[in-house]
Amino acid sequence: MELLTGTGLWPVAIFTVIFILLVDLMHRRQRWSSRYPPGPVPWPVLGNLLQVDLDNLPYSLYKLQNRYGAVFSLQMFWKPVVVINGLKAVKEVLVTCGEDTADRPEIPIFHYRDCVLLSPYGPEWREQRRFTVSTLRNFGLGKKSLEQWVIEEAGHLCDAFTAQAGSPFNPYPLLDKAVCNVIASLVFARRFEDGDPEMIKLLKVLNGSTRQNIGFITEVLNTFPILLSIPGLDNKVFSGRKTFFAIVDKLLTEHKRSWDPDQPPRDLTDAFLAEMEKAKGNPESTFNEANLRLIIFDLLGAGIVTISSTLSWSLLLMILHPDVQRQVQQEIDKVIGQVRRPDMADQARMPYTNAVIHEVQRFADIAKMTLPHMTSSDIEAQGFFIPKGTTLFLNLSSVLKDETVWEKPLRFHPEHFLDAQGHFVKHEAFMPFSAAAEHVWGSPWPAWNSSLLHRLLQRFSFSVPDGQPRPSDYGIYGIPVTPEPYQLCAVVRR
């Protein structure tokens, strides 16, 4: 008995350790190439997990970039990762090598939870992306265009701000509701009334999930996906998933009852249902119930938190920079006046306001990294060899704050997007979500996002409440990055 419980276990323990070290060594073979990107020496099994802060990964990457350069490597457990930083390197990987870096790595937590946006790059992904982008670009869906929905919702949002009567308040919940209603109009041709329990649950789930996809536990589950089969673990770690899908399923079921295939599509869901009708009998078609459900999930989940966060950053930066707010309002008064409602075409005639909107996205940096990519063949980046099957972290924050291309990268400076004559200029380093616009779902969103902001600044002047300290312009890391909670005062302009 002593042999079994004492010294008899030593050979098993030694064999186990040797086996683990051999497996670890096999997973490090990419580093044997002298042209493989440099990086910190990984620990056995854990890799570099103890050398990065997964709760604030961008800051860890910033420090590593200063030490190892624009292209460096990490090892997350046994997974080889190459981090791409700065404008030149990111453009080379996403544009020059775009066909070889468009794939996605296997991300078990997203596969388990179902997510179209992170599906492998292939015919299904391309067909669904093409359908979604083209449909969202079609502003004339059904009886109401996107612009009509935005104008209507902007009116409700202004009424909600007016009701605050100049008292201090947190604008984020009101922005959340407005954005939720615009996206609901695109997807379901409907508007949630104030106090609607479905909208309250939906927004509560979304706002509680912005940090659920980051951290050490997430990395462990991605490396050892078998853990996701433990009963109850998924619901505990990713709380709210079933609630969100239940809301989507209920809305979808209700919408199907009112769909008339003989009438023009009212919204994206109608357009998808029409494609499903056309594809009946075609087993290879990607237009099916499962993909419809997932596209709605992605649009609601990604769209609401991203756009409401951007609007919240916009108002925060307006109260922190009242001189900028005044210049925007002067341009709005000149181009639109204080009576006519703004429309999407106005943005092209307001260069300063357009520059401010772009600078908000650059400075706020709400999507600090792209969704993970993976090389589908061997590539080279900045002279380094990156083998097939390597996960790529593309650090967009390093592009938006690149000191070699921006005059004042760490400051809010709308002049980044203006030439000497005050004309708006596009900037090649402006990559708030990706280097390739065609990879961003929902292309018309920035336009109506701007329309909501135009309407708010046309109607109100915003300021830091008297007696309150100046809010911070540092963000809270998550997906997306959100401002720290703040309050403002909204006074109706005369």
As a whole number of Å, the CA-based R_g of the chain is 25
pTM for the model stands at 0.84
**H helix or E strand, kind and range, residue 329:** helix 322-335
Question: CB–CB of 78/408 below 8 Å?
Answer: no
Residue 428 gets which letter from DSSP?
Answer: T
The CA distance from 214 to 204, in Å, is 19
Identify the CA nearest to 69 among candidates 36, 99, 102. Answer: 36
Helices (H), 169-288: 172-188, 197-207, 216-223, 233-237, 241-257, 268-278
Identify the CA nearest to 287 among candidates 296, 279, 295. Answer: 279
**H helix or E strand, kind and range, residue 393:** strand 391-395
Tokens of 178: 């407005």
HEC string of 285-298 equals CCCCHHHHHHHHHH
Give me the phi and psi of 53, to 5 degrees please.
-95, 100
Strand partners, 395: 85, 369
**H helix or E strand, kind and range, residue 322:** helix 322-335
Question: CB–CB of 352/414 below 8 Å?
Answer: yes
What 178-182 contacts at long range (C-beta under 8 Å, 24+ apart), as own/partner pairs, is 178/153, 178/154, 178/308, 178/452, 179/303, 179/304, 179/307, 179/308, 179/311, 179/452, 180/300, 180/304, 180/308, 181/149, 181/153, 181/156, 182/149, 182/150, 182/153, 182/448, 182/452
**H helix or E strand, kind and range, residue 315:** helix 289-320
pLDDT tens series, the chain, 494 aa: 444 455 556 665 665 555 555 555 555 555 556 789 999 988 877 788 888 887 788 888 889 999 999 999 998 877 889 999 999 999 999 888 988 998 888 766 555 444 444 555 666 667 777 777 777 766 554 445 777 888 889 999 999 999 998 899 999 999 999 999 998 988 888 899 888 888 888 888 887 665 555 555 666 666 656 666 667 666 666 666 777 888 888 889 999 999 999 988 888 899 999 999 988 888 888 888 888 888 888 788 778 888 899 999 999 999 999 999 999 999 999 999 988 888 878 888 999 999 999 999 999 998 888 878 899 999 999 999 999 999 999 999 999 999 999 999 999 999 999 999 999 998 989 988 765 443 444 444 556 678 899 999 999 999 999 999 999 998 888 778 889 999 999 999 97
